[in-house]
Structures are given as C-alpha cells and as structure tokens.
Amino acid sequence: MFSSPLFLVFPFFLLACFLLYWAGARHAYLRRPEAENGDADAFDWHFFVPCRDEEAVVGTTVERLRADHPRAHVWVIDDDSDDRTGAIVAARAETDRRVHLVSRVRPHARQGKGAALNAAYDELNQFLSKDADRERVVVCVIDADGQLDPHALERVSGPAGFGDPETGGVQVSVRMRNAGDPRPLGEDRGRLRNAFARLLVRMQDMEFSVSNAGMQLLRGRTGSVGLGGNGQFTRLAALDRIAAAERRPWQRGALLEDYELGLHMILGGDRISHIADTWVSQEGLPHARRFLTQRTRWAQGNLQCVRYAPRIVSSRHYGGKGVLETLYTFLQPVAHLVTLALCAVMFALLGLTAAEDGFGAAFGGMLALWPLVLGLAVVSVLPFVLWGPVYRRDRASDHSLLSALLWGLALWLYAYHLFPASARGFVRMLRGRNGWAKTRRNAEVVTSGPVAIES
C-alpha cells in the first residue's frame, strides 16, 4: 500500500507547488517597485462600511474616515443590528451630509455581506446625478473596525491603480494594528494566555503584511489579483458591468463575496492591481475560537469558489498562469482535505503493519526513512522562517533578528490551522450552513454564547 503512487507522488506534488508559489511570492515582494502617487481629486470617493452589531467600533471608524479623507462620502450599511449601530451613525449623519446610513430590516436584511453591499450600491445609484462620470467614481469597502492610511487615496489614484484606465479594482495591503499590544486580552487574563494571544495577533499581521502581500504581488504578474473584504477599491463602472452580467455586483450567499467580486471583474475584462505601499488596518483576533470561526468561513468560501473553475479555464481574460494561480488558490481547502484523508489512511496502515509484523519492525521501517523525513522538514519549514527577517525589516525593526526567526518558525506552526478550518468548512457546507458569520469584535465582552453571530 505504501508503494502506491498516490502516497508517493501527492505529498511531493503539493510541496513542489508550495515551494514554487512561495518563491514567486517572495521574489515579487522583495522586487516590487514603489507605487507612484496620483491625483486623488480626479475621483469621487465613496466608502462602504457594512455593519451588524458594531456599536463598539463603528463610531471611531466613521470619525477616522471623515477626518483623514474629508472629500469622501461614508455609507454605513446597518444590517438590522440589535445594538446601537444605526443610532450612532444616524446621529452623525444629521450633522454631516457626507455620512449616509443605509438601514436594512428583516426579512430583507441579514442575507449576507454581499446583499448588504448591494443595498449600498443601490442607494449610491439613487444619490448620484445621471450625468456622473461613473469611471471616476470609486467605491471602497472598509470593515467596521478598519482604519485606512491617510495617504491611500493618492496611492490608488496613481499609475499602478486607477490612473490606468484599464484598472477596475485595487486592493491595498492589510495590517493588524494591535500586533504590538503586550496584553491583548487585558490585565486580568494572565501572562500565559496573553502571551499566546499576542503571538496569534503577530502571526496574523505577519501573514497579511508580508506573506499575503507577496502572494498578491505575484498575482499581479499572473493577472489574477484577488479583492479582499477590507481595503477593496473598485470603479463604479466596473461594478455596473458586473451587475449587467450577474444582476448584482456582489453575489448573494457568497462567504467570500470580496474574492468572488474580483473573479467576476477579471472574467468581465477589468484588471485588478495590488498596491503594497499603502494599507488598511484592522484588529487581529486574539481569541483562538473566534480566529478559527473566521478561518472556517474563509475556507468554506474557497470551496464555494470551485464552481467558477470551468468559467476561469475557458475565459479569454485569464492567461495560462492566471488560471493555474487561481485554481491553486481556491483549491487549497480541497488539498488540505485530501492530505488529512491520506494521513488518516497512512496511520491506519501503520497500525495494521504494527499489528501484523510487530511494533519494532514498523518503527524500524520508519526510522530507515529519517533522511528523507528530515529533508522534507527542512524544505517545508525554511520558507516560513525566511519570512521572519522580511517582516522584521518592514514591520518590526525594533525587534531582534532572533525574534524574527522565531516568528518565522511560529508562522510554520500557525499555518496548520488551515487543516481544521478546511475540515470544518467542508462539514458546514455538507450541512447546508452558509450564513454570514459575523465574528465578534475584541471590544465585545462575551462570557457565554457563540463567538460569531450567524444569519
């Protein structure tokens, strides 16, 4: 059984794909040119902030957006919150004509983040004059706890962004602004638990600000940049083209409505770029359960995207490299599930071998493979470790090189969350649970009940 081609080839195939992808992402990140500024005044900016029970953060977010980007309009979509989210925004809208509240009520509310964003799209269409130049109207989606770089609009207006008329969307880098918080759980939760929470937030910041940024810059070379749910910029005209083809810009029931929007944008012929020289920040999750809930939703969203494979393969707007990169991206949960299944079969066969030939014989056979196992471990761990010094250079220069290397090692261990998240996402999909799970904010004190609120 162990000589089966599946056992021998599949793990090496996955490792080869990972190493190739990592090398491309690292090269793209380290060799990226600096983005040039453009004329932000040439565009009409509108921020969409989807909210559900966000009274803990929405006021600060609106204030920050209005202070840093005074020419922009802020559209807060209250998806029938049970708290004071709507009241907080309504009070601000009474005194600020550039703040708008889009109120949704059940049964039409709570149908997913995409539906909430479509409601704001409809309101914006009614707000704009008929002669508005929709190629120069830009929509930016910001999370309820998001804070955008004050210079972001100049960056995304430049030649790498909307200064190029063929660009329909721009994604900026994402950072965790609480990465340096020494006690993310508070003073009363103990040193050990705070140390774990601090490391978890640091890994999220490292993942997004360097590793994922490198992946996005690689996608810029393959023509397959993805849009994210935070810091997502799109031309209104590009949204119109998707709406004409799909009835709505954002797809109903999609758990990765942001990534699916990017797929539709590229399928429609618009280009998406990633600009790593500007950013949007959010709070990293210090709670393991909330983090796993969030990543389960993302894994399930990736599994939903498999249905786009035939359209991507046959599209004239995707080149060969773009097809391979996109399929590799949203088939990752499938690869994780297959790997888990193979591991289960392998351990079962090891148990049978030990039962038939004795534990000593089985252990001796495994021990004979130690050079291969050691070599595979090195090439599997080293790519993660090498992100550590890069992250230290760009995001944590006040820390030592040793800390950076240890962070890189921790990033390797952190990556294993993908396996339980993929498995849980697959089970949720089989059970037909496709609701928009709103992960609770750090400021929300939860002593009992769910870590996420589902529709």
pLDDT string in tens for the chain (455-residue length)? 444 555 567 777 888 888 999 999 999 999 999 999 999 999 999 999 999 999 888 999 999 999 999 999 999 999 888 988 999 999 999 999 999 999 988 888 788 888 899 999 999 999 999 999 999 999 999 999 999 999 999 999 999 999 999 999 999 999 999 998 999 998 888 889 999 999 999 999 999 999 999 999 999 999 999 999 899 999 999 999 999 999 899 988 788 899 999 999 999 999 999 999 999 999 999 999 999 999 999 999 988 898 999 999 999 999 999 999 999 988 888 888 888 777 777 667 666 666 665 565 555 555 555 566 667 778 889 999 999 999 999 999 999 999 999 999 999 999 999 999 999 999 998 888 776 555 655 555 443 344 344 44
Burial class for 155, CB neighbours closer than 10 Å (0-12, 13-18, 19+): buried
Q: b/e string for 278-310 if b means 16 or more Cβ within 10 A? A: bbbbbbbbbbeebbbbbbbbbbbbbbbbeebee
Distance CA 286, CA 201 (A): 6
Tokens of 246: 């799909």
The torsion region of residue 335 among left (phi > 0), alpha (psi -120 to 50) and beta comes to: alpha
Question: 137-141 and 147-148 as β-strands: parallel, antiparallel, unpaired?
Answer: unpaired
**Predicted local confidence at residue 27, as pLDDT:** 96
**Predicted local confidence at residue 188, as pLDDT:** 81
Tokens of 356: 């038939």
pTM of the model: 0.87
**Predicted local confidence at residue 453, as pLDDT:** 47
**Predicted local confidence at residue 186, as pLDDT:** 84
Q: What DSSP line would sit under 131-143, residue for residue?
A: T--TTSEEEEE--
**Predicted local confidence at residue 189, as pLDDT:** 82
Nearest to 325 by CA among 173, 207, 204, 217: 217
DSSP H helical ranges for 207-308: 213-222, 236-246, 257-267, 288-304
